[in-house]
């Protein structure tokens, strides 16, 4: 029923008409703008220079990845101190343990490099932080974009965005000294510094990310849509929930994905407020956690170049890089989709 | 109050140095641009007026006091001191970005081999002070003494309640240092017999952070250098089958306290030039007075006899009090 109506929507009809005219216009192709005459040398040089600058950003990202991966790759064949790649991911039985365990204890004899607890820690903190920040960020965005009077909006929006400018070390310090004490008094958990404390600190950094992108997506929804719905007798909340939010959904999703990427890569707050114990308890969120980023930050200074430990840390970095890169890619694809969707209707 | 702010600022500066270390984790490890110029060769040239020193967080206050006093006595010289952990300092020495490394544990054989391979020289070890590693508990905790086997069980996670070691019924919360810390390595080796810390053991950057955490946590227990002990109380430690011994200067000096240790400075080869003068200053009576000032213990005389005797004009003129 719904889809049948969508198929007949005026936007799609208009798009089809456009497509048709474009089809017919194709034979009379004109040269692209600015290429019909010869440009002065200085213009051409300037163009090349700008292109080079744009490329250098791409090149630097590629070079960073290559450098990080280059340091990590020899792990696959060097077998330094008998370390195989599988040892990084599979549980093992060590001296002093009764069963096969996932252990990250990179200093000692023997060194134990199991990265699973670290990724578990990162995931736990990040998911918790998302749990706090997505409702907050998206809720704020919906309120400010659809309900708030303009004057309030002009005050609240910059203030939330200002949150993004607070250095993470300051937020970490706040989480460590203030939040942890409140939480300890209120909850009395075994660990004073735990995943929840770190996640709340982390949520403060990603709320602005989610908010800004969601708010942009919501305000970009054409007024004609909501005006049409209102004219048909829809209530304000119906317009918000059934028209505006679904239309902006890819943008909101992009905000959430980019927020996730930011959270999983955040270092300082988790280093300060999570307690940094690599505990393998997937479903207990009140334990202390050790994240991938905090491990790299705390340990990379210690190791000698070319060590197994050094290589494992670079591998962690490369994996983290791949994850955030993939997330950012997905996020930007979602934003592009939204733009397409909005211009089509 | 002043002490507290000092501790906090120390803590943040440690964190920042951790972050800086992480950011500059590539080949050019030196945060200090001048490190490049002074460490091109195996050891600094005699004319150099800059020394870069990095290492143990336990020793960082002491090293800064020494550097301040030395610079005051030798105008025109620059000493750059930073912390980061013994492992960090030794790694920097191996990688050639510092002149001297502070360490609160002896160098491992593997690290000595790396120095030989990378720097074409032998690691030179100089004990410079004595420290007692203390075990801290919250001020309200009734436990006042623990044996080494008990400590091992506690930090291995085999004992999880204070009532199992003579305290009240409360869960034990473990705090420790990051694994780049000499204190961590020393504790692991001497208390845990090289077995792993419990998974639940939290690691914090710096002894000050450990003490801060324990002081906020009624069930907390942590370890660190004695010089930092404020706001929490230390427990007496008994060796297996021995009497509980209080961590204090007397007991550390006569070796009866089971967790006392030397603090070291390492160089590649015999220190020469400015580094030599600095080492002599640390071992001089003025330098050793600063050790006591900061809260560690000066070297016993037999320890001092092993290292080159203090000589040179600069050392005795050094002021005992650090510049304000």
Where along chain B do its domains lie?
A: 2-131+262-317, 132-253
**Which of the four pLDDT bands, split at 50, 70 and 90, describes residue A334?**
confident
Q: Considering CB atoms only, which of B174, B178, B199 is closest to A298?
A: B178
Give the pLDDT mean for A130-149: 93
Q: Is the dihedral of CA A187, B230, A178, B184 positive or negative?
A: negative
Question: How many folded domains does chain A comprise?
Answer: 1
Rounded CA separation A212/A200 (Å): 19
Evaluate if residue A292 carries a pLDDT over 90: yes
Q: Which of A66, A105, A301 is the best residue to mutate to test the B interface, defined by the most B CB atoms within 10 Å of its own CB?
A: A301
- The whole-number pLDDT of residue B23 equals 40
- The dihedral over CA atoms of B2, B132, B216, B165, expressed in degrees to the nearest 10, equals -160
Q: Which of A128-132, A243-247, B31-35 has the highest mean pLDDT?
A: A128-132
Cβ of B204 within 8 Å of Cβ of A276? The answer is yes
- The whole-number pLDDT of residue A216 equals 92
- The whole-number pLDDT of residue A51 equals 92
Give the pLDDT mean for B113-140: 89
Cβ of B114 within 8 Å of Cβ of A112? The answer is no
Cβ of B180 within 8 Å of Cβ of A271? The answer is no
The ipTM (two decimal places) reads 0.73
Which residue pairs from A333-341 have beta carbons closer than 8 angstroms and sit at least 24 positions apart in sequence? A334/A250, A334/A251, A334/A253, A334/A254, A334/A257, A335/A213, A335/A217, A335/A250, A335/A251, A335/A254, A337/A250, A338/A217, A338/A220, A338/A248, A338/A249, A338/A250, A338/A251, A338/A254, A341/A247, A341/A250
- B235: nearest Cα among B164, B142, B130: B142
Closest chain B residue to A96 measured between Cα atoms? B195
Give the pLDDT mean for B250-269: 87
Cβ of A299 within 8 Å of Cβ of B171? The answer is no
**Which of the four pLDDT bands, split at 50, 70 and 90, describes residue B229?**
low
Evaluate if residue A15 carries a pLDDT over 70: no
- The whole-number pLDDT of residue B249 equals 79
**Which of the four pLDDT bands, split at 50, 70 and 90, describes residue A123?**
very high
- The whole-number pLDDT of residue B196 equals 87
- The whole-number pLDDT of residue A36 equals 62
Tell how far CA B91 is from the center of its chain. Answer: 15
CATH label of the domain that carries residue A339: 1.10.3720.10
Evaluate if residue A307 carries a pLDDT over 90: no
What is the CATH class of B2-131+262-317? alpha beta
**Which of the four pLDDT bands, split at 50, 70 and 90, describes residue A94?**
confident
Q: What's the CATH number for B132-253?
A: 3.40.190.10
Give the pLDDT mean for A310-339: 88
Evaluate if residue A89 carries a pLDDT over 90: no
- Are the C-beta atoms of residues B249 and B226 closer than 8 Å to each other? no
**Of A35 and A155, the one with more pLDDT:** A155
- The whole-number pLDDT of residue A302 equals 63
Rounded CA separation B242/B224 (Å): 22
* Domain assignment of residue A230, yes or no: yes
- Are the C-beta atoms of residues B209 and B14 closer than 8 Å to each other? yes
* Token pair recorded at residue B62: 């002491």
Rounded CA separation B155/B175 (Å): 9
Evaluate if residue A46 carries a pLDDT over 80: yes
Q: Which residues of B touch A279 (CB under 8 A)?
A: 199-200
- The whole-number pLDDT of residue A91 equals 86
Rounded CA separation B260/A203 (Å): 43
* Domain assignment of residue A1, yes or no: no
Evaluate if residue B208 carries a pLDDT over 60: yes
CA distances from B226 to A302, B59, B216, B261, B266 (A): 23, 11, 19, 11, 22
- The whole-number pLDDT of residue B186 equals 83
Question: Is B2-131+262-317's fold the same as B132-253's?
Answer: yes
- The whole-number pLDDT of residue A31 equals 63
**Of B295 and B268, the one with more pLDDT:** B268
**Which of the four pLDDT bands, split at 50, 70 and 90, describes residue B41?**
very low
The alpha-carbon gap from B222 to the nearest alpha carbon of chain A, in Å, equals: 13
* Domain assignment of residue A67, yes or no: no
- The dihedral over CA atoms of B151, B157, B160, B162, expressed in degrees to the nearest 10, equals 10
- The whole-number pLDDT of residue B15 equals 45
Average pLDDT of chain B is 77
Residue A146 domain boundaries: 75-344
Give the pLDDT mean for A116-138: 94
Q: Which of A38-47, A69-78, A139-148, B297-306 has the highest mean pLDDT?
A: A139-148
Question: 0.90 cut: is pTM over it?
Answer: no
Q: Which residues of B touch A299 (CB under 8 A)?
A: 178-180
Q: Considering CB atoms only, which of A272, A296, A301 is closest to B85?
A: A301
**Of B62 and A17, the one with more pLDDT:** B62
Task: Name the least confident of A283-297, B42-56, B88-102, B120-134.
Answer: B42-56
**Which of the four pLDDT bands, split at 50, 70 and 90, describes residue B193?**
confident
- The whole-number pLDDT of residue B4 equals 42
- The whole-number pLDDT of residue B31 equals 38
* Domain assignment of residue A28, yes or no: no
């Amino acid at each position: 029923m719904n889809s049948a109506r969508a198929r007949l929507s005026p936007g799609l009809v208009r798009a089809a008409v456009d497509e048709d005219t474009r089809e017919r216009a194709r034979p009379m192709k004109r040269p692209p703008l600015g290429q019909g005459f010869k440009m002065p040398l200085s213009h051409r040089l300037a163009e090349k220079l700008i292109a080079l600058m744009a490329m250098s950003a791409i090149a630097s990202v590629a070079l960073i990845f290559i450098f990080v991966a280059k340091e990590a790759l020899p792990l696959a064949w060097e077998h330094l101190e008998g370390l195989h790649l599988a040892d990084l991911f599979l549980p093992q039985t060590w001296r002093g343990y009764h069963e096969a365990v996932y252990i990250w204890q990179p200093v000692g004899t023997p060194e134990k490099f199991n990265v699973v607890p670290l990724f578990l820690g990162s995931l736990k903190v990040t998911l918790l932080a998302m749990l706090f920040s997505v409702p907050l960020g998206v809720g704020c965005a919906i309120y400010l974009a659809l309900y708030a009077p303009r004057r309030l909006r002009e005050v609240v929006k910059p203030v939330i965005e200002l949150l993004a400018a607070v250095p993470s070390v300051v937020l970490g310090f706040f989480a460590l000294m203030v939040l942890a004490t409140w939480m300890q008094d209120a909850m009395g958990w075994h660990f004073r510094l735990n995943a929840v404390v770190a996640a709340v600190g982390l949520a403060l950094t990603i709320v602005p990310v989610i908010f800004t992108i969601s708010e942009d997506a919501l305000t970009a929804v054409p007024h004609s849509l909501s005006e049409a719905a209102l004219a048909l007798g829809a209530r304000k909340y119906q317009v918000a929930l059934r028209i505006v939010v679904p239309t902006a959904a890819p943008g909101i999703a992009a905000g959430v994905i980019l927020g996730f990427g930011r959270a999983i890569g955040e270092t300082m707050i988790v280093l300060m407020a999570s307690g940094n114990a690599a505990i393998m308890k997937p479903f207990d969120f009140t334990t202390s956690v050790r994240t991938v980023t905090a491990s790299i930050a705390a340990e990379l200074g210690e190791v000698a170049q070319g060590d197994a430990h050094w290589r494992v840390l670079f591998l962690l970095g490369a994996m983290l890089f791949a994850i955030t890169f993939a997330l950012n890619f997905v996020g930007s694809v979602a934003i592009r989709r939204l733009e397409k969707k909005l211009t089509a209707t | 109050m002043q002490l507290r702010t000092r501790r906090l600022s120390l803590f943040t500066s440690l964190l920042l140095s951790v972050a800086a270390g992480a950011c500059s984790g590539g080949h050019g490890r030196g945060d200090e641009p001048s490190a490049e110029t002074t460490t091109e060769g195996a050891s600094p040239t005699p004319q150099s007026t800059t020394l870069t020193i990095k290492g143990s967080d336990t020793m960082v206050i002491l090293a800064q006091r020494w550097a301040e006093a030395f610079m005051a006595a030798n105008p025109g010289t620059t000493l750059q001191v930073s912390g980061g952990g013994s492992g960090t300092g030794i790694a920097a020495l191996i990688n050639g970005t510092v002149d001297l490394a502070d360490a609160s544990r002896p160098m491992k054989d593997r690290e000595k081999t790396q120095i030989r391979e990378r720097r074409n020289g032998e690691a030179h070890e100089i004990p410079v002070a004595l420290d007692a590693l203390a075990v801290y508990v919250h001020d309200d905790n009734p436990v006042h003494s623990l044996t080494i086997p008990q400590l091992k069980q506690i930090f291995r996670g085999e004992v999880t309640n204070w009532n199992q070691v003579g305290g009240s019924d409360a869960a034990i919360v473990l705090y420790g240092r990051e694994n780049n810390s000499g204190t961590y390595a020393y504790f692991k080796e001497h208390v845990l017999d090289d077995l792993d810390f419990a998974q639940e053991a939290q690691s914090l950057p710096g002894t000050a952070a450990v003490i801060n955490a324990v002081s906020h946590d009624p069930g907390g227990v942590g370890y660190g250098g004695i010089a930092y002990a404020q706001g929490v109380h230390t427990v007496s430690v008994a060796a297996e089958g021995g009497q509980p011994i209080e961590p204090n200067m007397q007991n550390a000096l006569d070796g009866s306290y089971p967790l006392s240790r030397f603090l070291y400075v390492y160089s590649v080869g015999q220190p020469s030039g400015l580094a030599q003068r600095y080492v002599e200053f640390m071992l001089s009576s003025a330098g050793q007075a600063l050790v006591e000032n900061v809260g560690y213990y000066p070297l016993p005389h037999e320890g001092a006899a092993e290292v080159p005797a203090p000589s040179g004009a600069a050392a005795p003129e050094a002021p005992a009090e650090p510049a304000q």
